A and B are shown apart, each in its own frame.
Chain A
């Protein structure tokens, strides 16, 4: 019992996924989180002459824990939202103010190349079909988004995180209905044709097959119509696997063909993709052995014929 308590206390005090790179919580943000970080908010109703508690609009709620783990954790709410929101109740006209877009801050960032990301996005099925109803924020909530593909480890974590972005609409009727009058398709049924579906869903991201990869960006943003998605097994299951240009792009650049394996970056993730992983030296060795055996057989057979 004591041991269990110690373990639980340890997990609480030293969380496994704790973020050591924390920032001090901004007082300005704390003021906003008081209402927008909870499912309810309380204010003094002058007409009734008493405090009233109301339900918060779920689309206006921000998880403060996730915010302080996100890439934007060092920002303060007024950095993106009008300072006039400091006043409560908020002026309803504030809703008409245009919201900043990613490029407003990230323009000219050579590391991420947001200009190309934006260009790819504008050519994507999301932008073409849904126009202004769709934006970067549909997939990348600026309050919680945490980039994790530029990491040497935890590809599995990246896969789950990135796939959840797609599933948050495509497997969620309510969110899907925000921009479409159609019913969201059944993902499992749509992928009936895919052999070993569980293994594929667990070990690759949706975007591996549903985007067009380029050399210009680390993560492709040109989401293709479903008819143009990758359906040929050998696109991934081959020496020229597209996984090396998508899921393993970062690792591929970092560790090229270490250990003599084709596409060694995939092996680094405890994965094994038939056709994409082969050992160069074992390949050579097997051909040499096969050649020597054939040579031995030919010499033996010729000698047998000559000495008969």
Chain B
């Protein structure tokens, strides 16, 4: 028990749980909107609109909670990516995932109390949480109020462009989620990382 580190405080676990559940609801309701009229549609259109809108608003509140948490607690430090030597660190981690792991090598950046994420995790989390999540949320909020979207942006329909940003960001984040879940199976055991996210201990 002594070699375990308490890495995931309650607020992080709660945020993460809600984020995951809401994202699943948003993926299914979003697909139902995008592929409406298809017989195998997951949720009927008229419910999918409300489900997607309400879940999106709750996700936004949850995201703001996450931003505050990172700002006012020490959790934010895990996301800092020093540029110096970043490329080499990422290449090292990439080599591990694509080669070293099959040779049963030790991970190049093991988890410590000061290093929750490896360099590749850091970079992807920063891109996901600080670039694509804001894009997804801002475009989603705009689509809730389509009358306020400029009619024309770069001589294309404003609402059309906003929707393209929204579904593209949504797709990228959904793909991230798939890869994220798979990479979580790379731990001491296949399920150890999932357990950590429930009890907080790594």
Contacts and interface: CB of A to CB of B under 8 A. Distances in A.
B157 A234 contact: no
A307 B104 CA distance: 8
Nearest to A274: B33
Given A232-B45, A238-B45, A286-B171, 8 more contacts: A199-B147, A233-B49, A267-B157, A270-B159, A270-B160, A275-B45, A294-B178, A308-B104
Main secondary structure of the interface of B (DSSP, over half): helix
Contacts of A269: 157
B102 A303 contact: yes
A271 B45 contact: no
A275 B175 contact: no
29 contacts: A195-B46, A198-B147, A199-B146, A233-B36, A233-B49, A234-B45, A237-B33, A237-B36, A237-B37, A238-B38, A269-B157, A270-B157, A270-B159, A272-B157, A275-B34, A282-B164, A286-B171, A289-B171, A290-B175, A290-B178, A293-B178, A297-B178, A297-B179, A297-B182, A300-B97, A304-B101, A304-B102, A307-B102, A307-B103
B175 A274 contact: no
A274 B146 contact: no
Interface in B9-46: 33-38, 45-46
A196 B110 CA distance: 52
A272 B36 contact: no
A277 B160 CA distance: 9
Contacts of B102: 303-304, 307
A297 B160 CA distance: 33
Given A199-B147, A289-B175, A233 B46 contact: yes
A274 B157 contact: no
Contacts of A257: none
B152 interface: yes
A78 B57 CA distance: 64
